[in-house]
Structure 1
Amino acid sequence: MSLPGQDAGLTPMFAQYREFKQQYPDALLLFRLGDFYELFFEDAEVAARELDLVLTGRDGGKALGRVPMCGVPYHSADAYIARLIERGHKVAICEQMEDPRQAKGLVRREVIRVVTPGTLVEPRSLEEKESHFLAAVCQGRTGFGLAYADLSTGEFAACELSGAHGLRQLVEELGRIEPREVLLEPGLERAPGITAPLERMGAALTPYGSGAFRHEAAYRLLCRHFGTHSLRGFGAEDKELAVRAAGAVLQYLEETQKTTLGHITALNVYYPGSYLVLDPATRRNLELTRALRDGGRRGTLLEVLDRTVTAMGGRLLRAWLEQPLLDLAAIRARHEAVGELVQAPLLRGELRSLLGDMRDVERLAGRVAYGSAGPRDLVALGRSLAVLPSLRVLLEEAGSPRLVELRERLDLLDDVRDLLGRAIADDPPVSPTEGGVIRDGFDEEVDRLRAAARDGKSWIAALEARERERTGIKSLKVGYNKVFGYYIEVTRANLAAVPDDYQRRQTLAGAERFVTPDLKAMEEQVLGAEERLAAREYELFAEVRRQVAAQVGRIQASARAVAEIDVLAALAEVAAVYGYTRPVVDHGEVIEIQGGRHPVLERVLPEGRFVPNDCLLDTGENRLLLITGPNMGGKSTYMRQVALITLMAQMGSFVPAQAARIGLVDRIFTRVGASDDLATGQSTFMVEMSEVAAILHAATRRSLIVLDEIGRGTATFDGLSIAWAVAEYVADPTRIGARTLFATHYHELCELEGLLPGVKNYSVAVREKGDEITFLYQIVRGGADRSYGIQVARLAGLPRAVVDRAREILATLEQQEGQRRARREAAAARARQPVQLSFFESRPHPVVEELLALNVMALTPLEALNLLHSLQEKAKEGR
């Protein structure tokens, strides 16, 4: 139902409602009426359905008739808003801007905020240890611009993704930050290469006006916000695409939040190529932060490593995990700090104990600057900042350069702590308007009003005893309600004893309520003092909050230092508890792991059950490890653990191994398993090939590639040919030459060890006893000649009849294959027999000439089979 036009005779309230709804047509408008936020018309129908509310109605007068309506209590609206946002809606909050009791005519209202999926700041709506990003994407001639911000903490960053692989890099970055909402420059909402992966992530897509992405406007807006004449100090002066995206983010936040964004104090312009790159498939396959099974945290590397004790430390650990380093000095600095804390368990324990007393200072500071912090937020901030001096004293014992630097970065914020300690009561109410917020002694006016109210209440409290004695009415009571104020209640049986100075105020079924001139005068004193007190306390609270907000940059700097101390201590705790060792990371090209373990799986298995394995990879003789063996034997576990150990080493963590040497890796690729992508109409095999193609186009000599069962989604010879060709391509130093782990069931590929330099065969050790097999989970030198598929099927519980029949079929197929092989070998032997040359003939047989001219190394298996058949036919013709 649409609202009528201006001249349709709307009531004043609905005319006001129409004005705001026309400004925010794409949002559900929460319209404050007294103690409720009400929704009307289609908004009410949507909210009633989404929130399971009762849909009622309100009389809209002759112009509207009965209007659909539902509402939620204002004091619990956050939870309802969060549910609406989760279901993909935007919510505009229209608030009363004056006390209805003092308003003359219609209460003045304003839309104070528009809540969207990317702009949630309410603590109950956010995951403590996860960032909540709003992102923006734009496109230019050279590539893409990406910017993102976390409104709850003030984090703000931007980058450019250009060149031939700009789109791929954009999708990789979006996969890393997992934004909740993405602003798209007009036209990009029709770019499936961007929208499809975002939709799979569950991000809300918001096409945003092109004006917000204009470079000139974005540049001016950013300079105005940061109070600078240029963006040179942020490294953004010549980053047109990054500036355009960042300007769009900032403009959207200003438009929707309608308040200061003082906690956004800097723009971090970064280069994705400065970090180890992990594409979305690799993040998913390695289960870094989300489990493949259910998308949850359980069973992930993050779950194993996260021993942080603060929310901000938890978010930073996740960022380190998703963005490992390439800077060798920075990696070693983290290792040295972790190592010092591993060797100093008392210091580590005391640090972690102190940090456990700190709340989420980043988000508390954000709420202070945002203007939404309440009294209890300020108390929590003050108590958290009180930990800083002790934390700094503890770090005086530290000697590693990184810990020393972090100690020096700790601003103790004495002035802020002193202000909060003097101003805010220890146990204030939730709302700053309820009174009891300001500490005694901070403000003379508060103390005077508080004394007046307290003395008046004491006089009133003693009134009941005095009046009982004066009147002789033992059941006389003194009470209070918001409608009539203070009163004296006398039962009907005692009305004859009521003194002449009692003034009747209210009649009840069994009693009468009275006031006296003295009680009325004291009530005015008490209520007047309390009203003035509440107003004064709120005024002081707002001023204290403003003063603290002015120091938000300093608070954020200390919070970031605390977060890193927490992460380093957590990594040290994990290393000490789980027996991790410090890896050696260098600029070489060798990955050598002794006694490596899978960090997640070893925590799941009973103590001592996990079987460690070694690994040696380089870009020379051990460039591609071809791993064969049965399913469930541990091939995938082995390959994943090598990738995870490499990643952990470069994020600054110790690793689950006896020893590890990691030559810097620029990218990690994994192709493990696949599924249909029904949304884009891609089959399992197409998804697999798409992922392989992305790897072959993007990998470099410095990369680590993990390939599992390439080519299994198609016919045997097709699959074998593809797997063979891929192995050749990644192992070829003139093409990629990357360090590669390649698991396969195609035993024919084992021949590559003798054909391609750098290929080494490995297999999973199995112990056989009759039809029984035992997996040893040990990776050993040499290829496997069997897959043990039927034995594995039996272990999986296939009916015995199926297993027996499978054995019969296998025996027949093997016999037939043996006969075919014998025929091929005989034919080849005949082809090798010398050809009788004629008396006048001096040149070799054509078959021999063709064989001599062959480049055997360039043939795929399928090409080799076809050529062999052709040569055989030619040889037969020449007999």
Structure 2
Amino acid sequence: MAKSKSEETPLMTQHKAIKAKYPDAVLLFRVGDFYETFNEDAVIASKVLGIVLTKRANGSAAYIDLAGFPYHSLETYLHKLVKAGHRVAVCDQLEDPKTVKGIVKRGVTEMITPGVAVNDKLLENSTNNFLAAVHFGLNNTGVAFLDISTGELFAAQGSTEYIDKLLQSFRPAEVIFAKQQQKHFRQTFGSRFYTYTLEEWIFTNNYAREILHKHFETHSLKGFGIEDLTDAVIAAGATMHYLKDTEHPHLQHITAIQRIDQDDFLWMDRFTIRNLELLQSTVEQGRSLIGTLDNTLTPMGARLLKRWIVFPLRDLTRIHERLDTVEDLIKEADRTHALQQHLKAVGDLERLVSKIPLRKINPREVMQLARSLQQVIAIKELLSNASTGLLQELHGLLDPCFTILEKILAEISDNPPVLANKGGVIREGVHAELDDLRAIATSGKEYLLRIQQQESEATGIPSLKVAFNNVFGYYLEVTNTHKNKVPANWIRKQTLANAERYITPELKEYEEKITGAEDKIQVLEIQLYDALLLALQEYILPIQRNAQALGRLDCLLCFAHNAVQFKYRRPNVTDAYFIDIKDGRHPVIEQGLPTGETYVTNDLLLHQNEQQVIILTGPNMSGKSALLRQTALITLMAHMGSFVPASAAEIGLTDKIFTRVGASDNLSGGESTFMVEMNETASIINNLTPRSLIILDEIGRGTSTYDGISIAWSIVDYLHDMTPHRPKTLFATHYHELNELENKHSRVKNFHITNKEVGNKIIFLRKLAPGGSRHSFGIHVAKIAGMPPQLIDRANEILTQLESQHIAAPMEQIAAPIQKVQLSIFDAHSDTFKDIREKLESVDINRLTPVEALLKLSEIKDLLQ
């Protein structure tokens, strides 16, 4: 009887049932030596992986799409699927097909998403891979960041602006939140992140506390400092739930929750992190601050340095602790060199130890962990006589874990294989039975020869030989000439024309040993290796502390290296309200200069009571933006505890750095350049404090000239007179009219970047000098950018014409109060106004260029005159 069309094969029935549990993941279904994908998963896999898409019959049902790859290529293909933004469920065979009749039992053994990746190919050594959870509460927003590959878990709560800054700083690979909050999330944080939504019940206070108490085996969260941070607790609970939801049950390496307190760190909003190019450049092939400063020697140090950059300190004591330590490391050059050499030999302890509970650490990595612990011994010894408090603290935190170190070195061979089931993992002398089995497996011929000699001497049979066949295994063969010498305990198994074949109890025992010896070796080695991993579980916390201490030491050594290599100097960070920099340099631009070219240094003073606002003018490409950024970066580096690119610097404690640099559209969000500019500027104005540093570059450039001047002018007015905070402000502008502000405000000072005209060329001297500049040299910049000569000549003609006609209104008119004027009803009917009306009505505003508008305005002005 024929099958009905709806009938499926048993394999596809099983696949369908498992796929139903993971509907939004690509299911990699193990079939023999291949991972197969079916239906829509096959289409995705074919497209992302570049593998062939085929069709096969599903019993007598319709044909289905199919795409697969060999099981040993899993890591390569898994990497590609996750990097492409797909969730992947790995479904393995849970039984040996040889021992099963019918369909093999299968189940998902691992679920991989961008935020819960632990595979080395999916991770970057120098970058954390955070899963973030966001919860919108009634008054606050909670957030948690969890890196399953290192065991770190951070939690915080505050305003949505604060959470936005944290998201920009941690840059999570995946963000989870409640389904009902999806619209709110998009409106608040946009579409910058890979996201996934969960059921609302997961984001509840009781459930979150229950899952966290159970995991950490505590009755409260007071020890982590988040007991009263309900929204942060809910977010942290959601991350732990998600790990278990994605088949990650072994999480013993997540040992604590670290609270992020906004008051502990210098505040930078996400615009500032982007504008100062702290983590990545805004231009292709450009360098970031982290790319310039990162001379760390370990992955732990590299990851920590990123956090130190986006979370500079605000506590003077802690800042000076770091600065003292860097100074000490510079002075003690020999010890510092020795510390660096030992750190280079340390592996990624943080990620190695996190693999232990996940059962993903291989024998070679266990040996690497042991060698790292050996370096801990040497580093601890070098720090034993440390003079600074911070190095003494690190010395106290380091624990070589001697017991487990000795156990690893005693049990694991010097060069173990990557896979535990490949043999050669356990040293000789650790397990007697294992040694015997290895002797049988590796020296079988020698053992048989020994038996042959032994029996030949005992019986006096010189022609005795040992051989093997598939019927009855190993045997002794005796020629008929000597068969009368055969002992009584030998058992005859076969008679030949010229000989007899016998077996002995010893041969039978040896045969039982040698048959399957390799299998027994594999089982024993895995048992012994698993026992070692179980013992290692007890040392997860001390090894994690070692990793964290070594990461901090690495960052401090990096600061010392940079100070010597790049000629940085120790800043004096004080409680004052001014910034005084001597011979300041931009740390990133300086390192990118052509060989032989020297960076032009500049002094700069911002003082709350004397020189609060600097209006900076100068030609395009003269170095205004570099000066603005270097001031912010030197301030930031000082708060990190790093030496700075200057001959001297006195930095008043700063609690917030705001920047509005450059112009960029947010077209996908429906926002123009000007709207983005105003949003960012509003964020600055609304969050000022007396210790703020504000960097403004070309505010108002995104709108019309007079609108722009008016906004820029009023911003300076506000910062000087309308807020009691007096924030230190650097304001670079093309609006030379703003130079008038120096005459109207006591704490506003004009400066410009100098230049020199040689013939028809402009040479930028890049030196800061008092006084405003009256020229922008925009046409000259257009010329050196490669604009056609005819275009440049025409631009000069138009500029001369505009300047001769005095199009620009006197600045006094802009600054003066606006007078209300009402036109006479008779003026509207005069011949002059009639002509003006006709000219205005003939203008197509949508097609009018700024230059044409100015010329049209000039014609109207001529009519009035």
The TM-score with structure 1 as length reference comes to: 0.85
What letter is aligned with 1:664? L
Give the corresponding residue for 1:215.
Answer: 205
Q: Shift of the alpha carbon at 1:194? A: 5.3
What letter is aligned with 2:209? Y
How many angstroms apart in 1 are the aligned matches of 2:248 and 2:724? 54
Instruction: Tell me, yes or no, if the aligned pair for 1:184 and 1:207 is still in contact at 8 Å.
Output: yes
Give the corresponding residue for 2:650.
Answer: 661
What letter is aligned with 1:119? V
What letter is aligned with 1:36? F
Secondary structure of 2:99's counterpart equals coil
Give the corresponding residue for 1:379.
Answer: 367
What letter is aligned with 2:603? D
Give the corresponding residue for 1:830.
Answer: none
Q: Shift of the alpha carbon at 1:789? A: 1.9
How many angstroms apart in 2 are the aligned matches of 1:129 and 1:484? 60
What letter is aligned with 2:444? G
Matched, 1:593 2:581: yes
Deviations 1:717-771 (A, max 9, x none): 1111011011111233635421110001111111111111210100011112343
Give the corresponding residue for 2:862.
Answer: none
Q: Shift of the alpha carbon at 1:114? A: 1.0
Give the corresponding residue for 1:850.
Answer: none
2:152 pairs, out of 152, 155, 160, with: 155
Matched, 1:286 2:276: yes
How many angstroms apart in 2 are the aligned matches of 1:108 and 1:556? 38
1:136 pairs, out of 133, 138, 144, with: 133
Give the corresponding residue for 1:182.
Answer: 175
Give the corresponding residue for 1:402.
Answer: 390
Matched, 1:715 2:704: yes
Give the corresponding residue for 1:425.
Answer: 413
Deviations 1:125-150 (A, max 9, x none): 11100000000001111111101100
Give the corresponding residue for 1:847.
Answer: none
Q: Shift of the alpha carbon at 1:105? A: 4.0
Instruction: Tell me, yes or no, if the aligned pair for 1:584 and 1:662 is still in contact at 8 Å.
Output: yes
Q: Structure 1 residues 772 and 436, CA, compared in 2 at 3 Å: closer, same or farther?
A: same
Q: Shift of the alpha carbon at 1:264? A: 0.2
Give the corresponding residue for 1:853.
Answer: none
Give the corresponding residue for 1:867.
Answer: 819
Give the corresponding residue for 2:162.
Answer: 169
Mapping for residues 114-513 of structure 1, pairs under 5 Å: 114-161=111-158, 166-191=159-184, 196-197=189-190, 199-200=191-192, 203-294=193-284, 299-456=287-444, 458=446
Deviations 1:465-501 (A, max 9, x none): xxxxxxxxxxxxx999xx99999xxxxxxxxxxxx98
How many angstroms apart in 2 are the aligned matches of 1:179 and 1:380? 28
Matched, 1:651 2:658: no
What letter is aligned with 2:708? G
Instruction: Tell me, yes or no, if the aligned pair for 1:456 and 1:523 is still in contact at 8 Å.
Output: no
Secondary structure of 1:610's counterpart equals coil
How many angstroms apart in 2 are the aligned matches of 1:289 and 1:516? 78
Deviations 1:184-239 (A, max 9, x none): 12322112555654x23xx2110111121111011011000001111111112111
Matched, 1:85 2:82: yes
How many angstroms apart in 1 are the aligned matches of 2:299 and 2:502? 57
How many angstroms apart in 2 are the aligned matches of 1:680 and 1:732? 34
Q: Structure 1 residues 90 and 516, CA, compared in 2 at 3 Å: closer, same or farther?
A: farther
How many angstroms apart in 2 are the aligned matches of 1:869 and 1:785? 32
How many angstroms apart in 2 are the aligned matches of 1:524 and 1:445? 14
Instruction: Tell me, yes or no, if the aligned pair for 1:725 and 1:860 is still in contact at 8 Å.
Output: no
Q: Shift of the alpha carbon at 1:584? A: 0.7
Secondary structure of 2:325's counterpart equals helix
How many angstroms apart in 2 are the aligned matches of 1:694 and 1:266? 34
Q: Shift of the alpha carbon at 1:450? A: 1.6
Q: Structure 1 residues 591 and 104, CA, compared in 2 at 3 Å: closer, same or farther?
A: same
Count how many residue pairs are aligned between Structure 1 and Structure 2: 784
Mapping for residues 682-721 of structure 1, pairs under 5 Å: 682-721=671-710
How many angstroms apart in 1 are the aligned matches of 2:805 and 2:502? 114
Q: Shift of the alpha carbon at 1:14? A: 2.5
Unpaired segments ≥5 residues, structure 1? 464-477, 488-499, 504-514, 825-858, 872-879
Deviations 1:228-251 (A, max 9, x none): 111111112111111110000000
Matched, 1:638 2:590: no
Secondary structure of 1:787's counterpart equals coil
Q: Structure 1 residues 782 and 546, CA, compared in 2 at 3 Å: closer, same or farther?
A: same
Give the corresponding residue for 1:549.
Answer: 537
Q: Structure 1 residues 805 and 429, CA, compared in 2 at 3 Å: closer, same or farther?
A: same
Deviations 1:268-291 (A, max 9, x none): 122123211221211111111101
What letter is aligned with 1:395? L
Secondary structure of 1:265's counterpart equals coil
Unpaired segments ≥5 residues, structure 2? 452-466, 475-492, 824-865
Deviations 1:428-454 (A, max 9, x none): 222111221111111222222222222
Give the corresponding residue for 1:612.
Answer: 601
1:778 pairs, out of 740, 755, 767, with: 767
1:812 pairs, out of 801, 809, 813, with: 801
2:66 pairs, out of 65, 69, 75, with: 69
Q: After the TM superposition, which of the residue ranges 626-635 and 762-771 deviates more from structure 2?
A: 762-771
Instruction: Tell me, yes or no, if the aligned pair for 1:361 and 1:556 is still in contact at 8 Å.
Output: yes
Give the corresponding residue for 1:833.
Answer: none
Q: Structure 1 residues 41 and 322, CA, compared in 2 at 3 Å: closer, same or farther?
A: same
Instruction: Tell me, yes or no, if the aligned pair for 2:437 and 2:513 is still in contact at 8 Å.
Output: no
Instruction: Tell me, yes or no, if the aligned pair for 1:721 and 1:861 is still in contact at 8 Å.
Output: no
Q: RMSD over aligned Cα, in angstroms?
A: 3.0
Q: Structure 1 residues 574 and 158, CA, compared in 2 at 3 Å: closer, same or farther?
A: same
Q: Structure 1 residues 527 and 204, CA, compared in 2 at 3 Å: closer, same or farther?
A: farther
Q: Shift of the alpha carbon at 1:176? A: 0.6
1:742 pairs, out of 720, 728, 731, with: 731
Q: Shift of the alpha carbon at 1:335? A: 0.5
Secondary structure of 2:686's counterpart equals helix
How many angstroms apart in 2 are the aligned matches of 1:194 and 1:272? 23
Instruction: Tell me, yes or no, if the aligned pair for 1:729 and 1:736 is still in contact at 8 Å.
Output: no
Q: Structure 1 residues 55 and 522, CA, compared in 2 at 3 Å: closer, same or farther?
A: farther
Q: Shift of the alpha carbon at 1:557? A: 0.4
Q: Shift of the alpha carbon at 1:59? A: 4.3
Q: Structure 1 residues 732 and 103, CA, compared in 2 at 3 Å: closer, same or farther?
A: farther
Instruction: Tell me, yes or no, if the aligned pair for 2:83 and 2:122 is still in contact at 8 Å.
Output: no
How many angstroms apart in 2 are the aligned matches of 1:612 and 1:525? 80
Q: Structure 1 residues 461 and 171, CA, compared in 2 at 3 Å: closer, same or farther?
A: farther
How many angstroms apart in 1 are the aligned matches of 2:495 and 2:80? 54
How many angstroms apart in 1 are the aligned matches of 2:69 and 2:268? 44
Q: Shift of the alpha carbon at 1:540? A: 1.1
Secondary structure of 1:386's counterpart equals helix
Deviations 1:822-859 (A, max 9, x none): xx8xxxxxxxxxxxxxxxxxxxxxxxxxxxxxxxxxx9
How many angstroms apart in 2 are the aligned matches of 1:803 and 1:865? 39
Secondary structure of 1:138's counterpart equals strand
Q: Structure 1 residues 638 and 683, CA, compared in 2 at 3 Å: closer, same or farther?
A: same
Q: Shift of the alpha carbon at 1:49? A: 1.7
How many angstroms apart in 2 are the aligned matches of 1:69 and 1:794? 59
Q: Shift of the alpha carbon at 1:43? A: 1.3
Q: After the TM superposition, which of the residue ranges 41-50 and 139-148 deviates more from structure 2?
A: 41-50
Q: Shift of the alpha carbon at 1:348? A: 1.3
How many angstroms apart in 1 are the aligned matches of 2:689 and 2:249? 47
Q: Shift of the alpha carbon at 1:60? A: 2.7
Matched, 1:724 2:721: no
Instruction: Tell me, yes or no, if the aligned pair for 2:118 and 2:149 is still in contact at 8 Å.
Output: yes
Q: Structure 1 residues 746 and 815, CA, compared in 2 at 3 Å: closer, same or farther?
A: same
Give the corresponding residue for 1:827.
Answer: none
